Amino acid sequence: MIKRFRFGTPLPTESVVLDLPLCEEAVPFLQGTPACFTYLLGEDDLVFGLGESIRGINKRGWHYVSFCSDDPNHTEDKTSLYGAHNFLLVDGAAGRFGLFWDYAGRVEFDVGYTRRDLLQITPADENYDLYVITGESDVEIVRAFRGLIGKSYIPPKWAFGYGQSRWSYPTEADVRAVARGHRENGIPLDSIYLDIDYMKDYRDFTVDPEKFPDLQALAAELAQDHIHLVPIIDAGVKIEPGDPTYESGKAGGYFCKNAQGEDFVGAVWPGLVHFPDFFQKEARRWFGERYQTLVDQGIEGFWNDMNEPAIFYTPGRLRAVLDELSACQSIDLNLDQFFALKDKLLGLSNNLEDYRSIYHQVEGQMVCHEQVHNLYGANMTRAAGETFEALYPDHRMLFFSRASCIGAHRYGGIWYGDNQSWWSHLAMNLKMLPSANMCGFLFSGADLGGFGSSATEDLLLRWLQLGVFTPLMRNHCAMGNRAQEAYQFSEAPAMAKILGIRYGLLPYLYSEFVKAALADDMLFRPMHFDYPDDPHAAQVEDQLMLGEGLMIAPVLEQNATGRYVYLPEPMKLIRMRSTDDYDQEVLPAGHHYVPVGLRELIFFIRPGCVVPLTQAAMSVEEIDSEHLTLLHFVEQGTGSYVLYDDDGYTRDYQAPDHYRTLTVSV
C-alpha cells in the first residue's frame, strides 16, 4: 500500500508516474513535524536505501545529505556523492515500511548518527510530497516503490559488454591502439570511451579536427570489429560566438539566469560557460537534438558528466580571491589568516552561494537553483532520453550520467563517479549495487580498477571479478596514473579469461536484467531480502543475491587467497578460471572458508536453480546464445529457467519469442 502526504506547495519533480490521491490523516510510523520527522529505531532494526552513498548496505550509524556533489574523494567522512536518492526502507520488529521524499532540494538523513536509536529526516523546507509504502516483505515494498516511480531504463545489449575508458585517449591513433591492444591479446571489448580531449577546446558537440580528423570513419572502422565509440558530454556550454550550441542556446533563451535575469556565467573545462536550463521543456528538446551531430557520425551512446552541475569558479568570486591573494603578497600571515585564505581558495569550486545565484524557469516561474538542485543532472539525462525516444522510438541508445536523482532511472543509467584505486572502494562498489537498484537504477556500476590513484594488478583482477556481474562493466582511470588497460599488465591472460566469463554468463545476466526492469524488481538484493528470518543473513554486507539463481561473494581484500562465506541454505559453489575451466561443489548451509585463487572467481547457485552459460566471445555480437551449457543445482527431478533474449536494439520487450524455457532433468 502507498500513501501520499503533501506539505506546503511542492515544486514539480516528475519523479513519480502514478497520480495518487492525497491523504488527510496523520503520517504513520513517524513523529515530529514536516520540518523534521523522526522514528525510534529498535536495537536490531535495519535501514536500507539512499541509492548512491558511502558506507554499508545497512545505512544505520551515519548521516547522509541528499545533495548532488562533485567530490571525487569518497572517504568515510563524506555525506554526499553525485546522486540524490531519497528512498529509505526500515525493517524492524515494530514495522516494515518505505519512505520517499519527493523533493528536489537538500534533505538530511540522520540514520542513528546523533542518537543510535533515532532516525531523523530534515528537508531544507516544508514543501514536498512524502510517500509511505507498506508491504509484507522488503521485496514487496521495493516493488511497490518501483511501480510508483516508473520502469527502469534498458540499454542496448552491446552496452553490457566490456568497456575501456581513460581520461583521455586524445587522438584517433590512441583509440586505435586501445582497440588493437585488446584484440591482439585476446581480450574482449565492446566499447571505447572518449573523454573531454576529443572535443575542440572542450566544447560540447564538437570534434577536434586535428586529433580526430574523421570521427565518422573511425566509428565505422571500429564497428566492423564490433567496438562502439562512446563520447562524453558535459553540462556547461562554452561562451563562444560562432559556436552552434552557444548561438542556438542564446537565441532560444535556453540558459540559466542570474537574479538580474541575465545568463548565469560559471566556468568548467572550456573556461567561461552558460548552463542549459533543463527545467524548460523546449531547452531539453534543444539540447537533446544537439546529440544528433554525433549520432550522424556513427555514435550510439553517450555518458553525461559534470552535471551536478560542477562549477570551477564564477568570475566575481575568482576576482575577489585574486584581489585578496594580491593583497597578501607582503603580509606575514598568521595561522588564522592563512587558513582563512586557504578556505577562500578551496571555496572557489561548487560554492553554495554560486548555486544560490542560479535561477531556472519552472512552469513559468523563476526558481532559485538551490530549491531544485538535485534535479539538474537528472534533467540533462532526460533531455537526451526524451529526444531520442521521440526521434528513434524503436531504437535503444546508451546513456548514463554522473549526477542523478530518482526519476532519472527512466532515461538512463548511472556510474558511481570518480572513485579511487582502493580496496575499500572495491567493497563500496559492491554495497552500492542493491541500494541503487532499490531506487530504480539497474544499469549502474563503478569505474573498475578505480579512477584516481594507480591500480595494482591484483586489485584490477579482483575488481574485474566483481565487474563480471555488474551491468555497466567499464574500466576507467585518470591521466597521471598507471595505464589501466588489461593488456598493460603481466596478468593480461588471466584478465582475458575473467572477461570471457562475463560474456559466457551474459545470457543469464542480460535475461535477469531485462526481467527485473520489466517487473520492477531488483537485480541485486541484500541477503536479508531473500532470507528475512535468518539473523545471520541480515549481518552479511559482502555477499549479494543476483537475479533468480545466483549469490555472488567476490574477494575484496588485498593478498587474500580466499574468503569466508555464509550460506543460509545449501548451495552449489562454482569456481571459474574460464568458461572452459571450472569446478563445482555442493556446500551445506553454514559458515565456510572458501579458497579463491587470484585468477579465479566464485559464485553460488541456489537450490533448484539453473544458470545458462555459453562460450567466451570477443564481443556481445559474437555471443552464441543458442548453444548453452546449463549450470544448475538440481539434485533430482527437473529444474527450469526462463531465458529472455532479444535483438538487443529495439524496444519490443514483450514479444513472446523473446522467452524460452530451458530444462534440466536429473
- The rounded distance, in Å, linking the Cα atoms of 260 and 399 is 35
Asked if residue 235 lies in contact with residue 306, where contact means CB atoms within 8 angstroms, the answer is yes
| 3-state helix/strand/coil string of 606-660 | CCCCEEEECCCCCCHHHCCCCCCEEEECCCCCEEEEEEECCCCCCCCCCCHHHEE
Asked if residue 484 lies in contact with residue 456, where contact means CB atoms within 8 angstroms, the answer is no
Which is catalytic among the residues 129, 263, 277, 308? Answer: 308
Q: Which long-range CB contacts under 8 A does 40-43 form with residues at least 24 apart?
A: 40/117, 40/118, 40/119, 41/90, 41/92, 41/112, 41/116, 41/117, 41/118, 41/119, 42/92, 42/93, 42/94, 42/117, 43/117
Q: What's phi and psi for 158, nearest 5 deg?
A: -60, -25
Identity of the residue numbered 253: G
Residue of 528, 518, 556 lying closest to 442 (CA atoms): 518
- Cell numbers given for 531: 532470507
CA distances 323 to 95, 254, 308, 313, 333, Å, are: 58, 33, 28, 15, 16
- The rounded distance, in Å, linking the Cα atoms of 440 and 517 is 8
Cell numbers 550550441: residue = 245
Asked if residue 276 lies in contact with residue 237, where contact means CB atoms within 8 angstroms, the answer is yes
Cell numbers 598507471: residue = 482
**Active-site annotation holds for 308:** yes
CA distances 197 to 48, 171, 220, Å, are: 39, 8, 20
Residue of 495, 507, 490 lying closest to 465 (CA atoms): 495
CB burial string 407-437: b at 16+ within 10 A, e below: bbbbbbbbbbbbbbbbbebbbbbbbbbbbbb
- The rounded distance, in Å, linking the Cα atoms of 367 and 360 is 5
Angle (deg, nearest 10), helices 244-252 and 281-290: 170
**Active-site annotation holds for 305:** yes
CA angle 78, 82, 88 (to 5 degrees): 75
Which is catalytic among the residues 71, 243, 305, 646? Answer: 305
| 3-state helix/strand/coil string of 235-247 | CCEECCCCCHHHH
- The rounded distance, in Å, linking the Cα atoms of 75 and 64 is 13
| 3-state helix/strand/coil string of 471-529 | CCEEECCECCCCCCCHHHCCCHHHHHHHHHHHHHHHHHHHHHHHHHHHHCCCCEECHHH
Identity of the residue numbered 234: D
Instruction: Cite the beta strand spans of 224-311 per DSSP E.
Output: 228-234, 237-238, 266-268, 271-274, 301-305
CA angle 406, 291, 414 (to 5 degrees): 30
Which is catalytic among the residues 45, 91, 418, 530? Answer: 418
Q: Which residues are catalytic?
A: 305, 308, 418
